């Protein structure tokens, strides 16, 4: 579906503008040819009028022009005035011809740019499957060229629309006296042209944002950097492993709490210190240094360092930072569009859509090479610690991580929502290790299943990875799910550092302060949204005037149809063809009016009847037996075309509402059980007799939905520990 939208926006729409240009060019050429012929006729007539003006009877002689008798001198003056006016119109005709040609050229250019861009992305995505070198080369080249392609497409489209409107504005100019209404219309059209040109200028202001879309941005990491002086054993082990693998040693080691082991070449913005790290960074979760043994630690860190060894080095150093950064940048663009005005959103949308398609074109290729890299890195890690240690490390991390996340979350909940007399931990790693010692480790069977990789999978399955290491699954599970012994785990974790106690306390303080601050910001935002609505809002259709107008139009048509029907039936039988035509026309009129009259009457009858009541906790529809709790609404759509369609998408767990029997003259919401939707269609939505614009209605619905969600989250936040 996305590719069809892109084809429509990037190719079909420009081709549509091109066809408009062809139509305008034909009109302009015909008009210019006609004006040229008129100009030639006037030039041919001038000697005749000049000869008449020199004759003795010129003062008394008159000539008839357009039914008016005028003197020869006045006729000659009008001829000169017509010639001057035609000169201006002919010049404008040539200008409009060039404008039409510009529309044709710009439309073709935009369609060509869009088509080449889409085809290029498709080709680049398939080419990148051959090797990582081709992936790196292709992706880098496309990421440099694509922003300028997008800018060129937007400029061509904006200029084409401006040329179309300019053509129509200049086409209104004609010889002779211009009426005030015509001049006003020309001014209005030229103002629209100015708005289009202004939008192109605005795009220049947004160009920096668009170009930044394809530049990598720093990734945020919650943790603390440790130096060789603070963690001499850890640094020594990492450097030794890197040397044995022939890999590049990391420039930085960052200790974290809940994220796993990983390496990155992207710039890292450490939180909460807001220090930016450049170069190669190894992230180490401090608690896992105690939860897995020394051999497993060597296997896991060796796995990560293998991404900086051999052919993987250039891929890790050059491609992944760009790829990951573009993904983060697209998120920034999405936020920019969310809070921009309509003009800026319109300018950025094609670029954003193509940016998403750009990433999606490479996603499957990147995921393919990611799976290949992971298996190769597993093998590299196994050379340092043995296949059994590498396999048990995979299983152990998979078994422990859900429990670890659960325990850390409970400590965060205690810190953000403390109870009276509760003592908060100052040493989170030690506390969690002791708590995990009481847990039984188990691995779900599906975790070890061997299955064909899906194109969207970034990692092979655990079963596939263990099998590739030539280790029996039962053996890996038995070793990986051994119980946690708190004293041994704490000692193993501490031996990497000079002052482990102080380091753990600082890490805990940073982690908890960040979580508490984030929670406070979230609670403030939720309270703001929860308090953004108060009281009930009743919405009704309020389309009585529209219904009356339809009745005024349709009633005479029905009467006319009846009269024609009676006349046709009573007409002479000999005029069969005329009689049949009259009866057919009468039947069509009567059928048309009879079908629409009930709906026109319906608009009048239900104009002031409440269709929907928005309350802080429920949406109350007039024809549903029970109100819909706001918490059951997963999302909503508002579509305005030949009326306003409000669609509520219900949660999968929410019960479906039941419809009550309602009269034809009452507002009726429809329930689509299979799609779990409630749809209310009205001619328009009104509040207190005032029609709501689509954006006003959408904002009103969103405010009540968001307020309900915020209240539910706040309730969970302060009741769940």
Q: Mean pLDDT of successive 10-residue segments in the chain (721 residues)?
A: 75 86 84 72 65 60 61 64 63 80 89 82 67 62 69 77 77 54 60 63 57 64 93 94 89 92 86 88 94 93 82 53 59 60 58 72 65 79 88 91 93 86 88 91 70 48 82 88 92 94 95 92 89 88 86 86 81 63 81 86 86 90 89 85 84 86 80 89 88 86 89 77 42
> Quick check: 453 and 408 in contact, CB under 8 A?
no
User: Are 404 and 429 in contact, with CB atoms under 8 Å apart?
Assistant: no
What pLDDT, on a 0 to 100 scale, did the predictor assign at position 411? Answer: 93
- State the Cα–Cα distance between residues 719 and 454, nearest whole angstrom: 40
CA torsion sign, 659 to 660 to 662 to 666? negative
Model-level pTM? 0.62
The answer to whether 646 and 701 have CB atoms below 8 angstroms apart is yes
Closest to 425 measured CA to CA, from 447, 408, 445: 408
Q: Residue 139: exposed, middle, or buried by beta-carbon count in 10 A (0-12, 13-18, 19+)?
A: buried
Residues 6+ apart with CB under 8 A from 133: 314
Q: Which of 536, 518, 522, 531 is nearest to 706 (CA)?
A: 531
Name the token pair of 122.
């498709």
Q: How far is CA 557 from CA 439, 546, 582, in A?
A: 81, 17, 14
d(CA 55, CA 50): 9
Distance CA 700, CA 646 (A): 12
* pLDDT value for 60: 56
C-alpha span between 330 and 152 (Å, rounded): 20
C-beta atoms surrounding 70 within 10 Å: 15
**Of the candidates 681, 555, 688, 546, the residue with the CA atom closest to the CA atom of residue 603:** 546
Given its phi and psi angles, is residue 644 left (phi above 0), alpha (psi -120 to 50 degrees) or beta? beta
C-alpha to C-alpha distance for 695 and 306, rounded to whole angstroms: 53
pLDDT at 197: 63
**β strands within 570-682, DSSP E:** 610-614, 618-621, 628-629, 633-641, 643-650, 669-672, 677-682
The total number of residues shown for the chain amounts to 721
- C-alpha 344: how far from chain center: 13
CB-count burial class (<10 Å; 0-12, 13-18, 19+) for 520? exposed
CB 279 within 8 A of CB 310: no
Q: Are 424 and 414 in contact (CB under 8 A)?
A: yes
Q: Which CATH number fits domain 608-719: 3.40.50, 2.30.29, 1.10.1200, 1.10.8?
A: 2.30.29
Query: 3-state DSSP call for residue 224?
Result: strand
**Rounded Cα distance, 50 and 76, in Å:** 7
DSSP state of 499: S
Strands 268-271 and 219-222, by their bridges, are parallel
The rounded Cα 123 to chain-centroid distance in angstroms is 24
Q: Which residue shows structure tokens 């100009």?
A: 39
Structure tokens at 414: 């205690």
Q: How far apart are CA 373 and CA 365, in angstroms?
A: 12
Instruction: Outline where DSSP puts E strands in 174-298.
Output: 219-222, 224-226, 252-256, 262-264, 268-271, 276-277, 281-285
Show the tokens assigned to 336.
């920019």
């Amino acid at each position: 579906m996305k590719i069809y939208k892109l084809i429509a926006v990037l190719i079909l729409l420009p081709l549509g503008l091109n066809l408009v240009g062809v139509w305008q060019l034909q009109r302009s050429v015909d008009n210019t040819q006609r004006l040229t012929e008129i100009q030639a006729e006037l030039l041919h007539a001038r000697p005749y009028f000049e000869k008449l003006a020199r004759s003795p009877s010129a003062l008394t002689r008159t000539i008839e022009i357009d039914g008016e008798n005028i003197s020869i001198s006045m006729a000659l003056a009008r001829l000169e005035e017509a010639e001057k006016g035609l000169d201006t119109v002919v010049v404008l005709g040539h200008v409009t011809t060039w404008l039409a040609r510009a529309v044709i050229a710009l439309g073709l250019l935009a369609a060509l740019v869009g088509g080449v861009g889409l085809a290029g992305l498709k080709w680049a995505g398939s080419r990148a499957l051959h090797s990582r070198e081709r992936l790196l080369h292709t992706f880098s080249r496309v990421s440099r060229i694509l922003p300028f392609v997008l800018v060129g497409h937007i400029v061509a489209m904006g200029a084409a629309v401006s040329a179309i409107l300019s053509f129509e504005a200049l086409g209104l100019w004609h010889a002779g006296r211009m009426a005030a209404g015509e001049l006003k219309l020309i001014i209005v059209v030229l103002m629209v042209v100015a708005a289009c040109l202004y939008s192109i200028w605005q795009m220049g202001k947004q160009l920096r944002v668009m170009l930044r879309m394809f530049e990598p941005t720093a990734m945020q990491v919650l943790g603390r950097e440790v130096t060789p002086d603070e963690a001499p054993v850890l640094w020594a082990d990492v450097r030794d492993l890197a040397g044995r693998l022939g890999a590049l040693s990391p420039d930085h080691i960052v200790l974290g709490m809940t994220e796993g082991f990983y390496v990155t070449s992207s710039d890292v913005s450490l939180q909460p210190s807001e220090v930016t790290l450049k170069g190669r960074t190894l992230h180490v979760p401090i608690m896992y240094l105690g939860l897995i043994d020394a051999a497993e630690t060597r296997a896991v860190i060796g796995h990560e360092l293998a991404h900086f060894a051999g052919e993987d080095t250039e891929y890790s150093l050059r491609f992944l930072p760009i790829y990951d950064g573009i993904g983060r940048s697209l998120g920034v663009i999405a936020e920019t569009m969310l809070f921009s005005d309509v003009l800026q959103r319109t300018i950025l949308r094609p670029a954003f859509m193509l940016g998403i398609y750009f990433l999606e074109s490479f996603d499957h290729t990147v995921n393919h090479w990611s799976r290949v890299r992971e298996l190769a890195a597993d093998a590299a890690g196994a050379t340092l610690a043995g296949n059994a240690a590498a396999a048990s490390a995979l299983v152990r991390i998979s078994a422990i991580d859900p429990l670890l996340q659960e325990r850390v979350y409970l400590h965060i909940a205690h810190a953000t929502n403390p109870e009276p007399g509760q003592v908060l931990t100052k040493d989170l790693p030690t506390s969690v290790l002791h708590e995990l010692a009481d847990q039984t480790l188990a691995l779900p069977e599906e975790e070890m299943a061997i299955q064909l990789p899906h194109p969207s999978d970034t990692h092979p399955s655990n079963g596939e990875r263990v099998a590739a290491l030539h280790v029996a699954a039962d053996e890996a599970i038995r070793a990986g799910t051994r119980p946690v012994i708190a004293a041994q785990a704490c000692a193993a974790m501490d031996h990497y550092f000079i002052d482990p106690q102080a380091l753990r306390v600082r890490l805990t303080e940073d982690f908890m302060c960040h979580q508490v601050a984030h929670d406070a910001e979230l609670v403030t935002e939720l309270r703001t949204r929860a308090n953004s609505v108060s009281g009930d809002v009743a919405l009704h259709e309020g389309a009585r005037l529209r219904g009356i107008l339809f009745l005024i139009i349709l009633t005479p048509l029905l009467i006319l149809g009846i009269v024609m029907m009676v006349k046709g039936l009573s007409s002479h039988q000999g005029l069969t063809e005329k009689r049949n035509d009259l009866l057919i026309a009468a039947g069509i009129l009567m059928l048309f009016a009879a079908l629409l009259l009930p709906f026109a009457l319906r608009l009048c009858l239900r104009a002031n009847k409440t269709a929907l009541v928005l309350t802080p906790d429920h949406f109350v529809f007039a024809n549903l037996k029970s109100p819909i709790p706001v918490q059951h609404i997963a999302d909503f759509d508002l579509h305005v075309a030949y009326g306003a369609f409000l669609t509520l998408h219900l949660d999968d767990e929410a019960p479906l509402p039941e419809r009550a029997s309602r009269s034809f003259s009452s507002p009726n919401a429809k329930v689509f059980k299979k799609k779990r939707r409630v749809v209310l269609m009205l001619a328009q939505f009104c509040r207190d007799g005032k029609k709501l614009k689509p954006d006003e209605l959408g904002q009103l619905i969103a405010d009540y939905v968001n307020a309900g969600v915020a209240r539910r989250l706040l309730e969970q936040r302060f009741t769940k520990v």
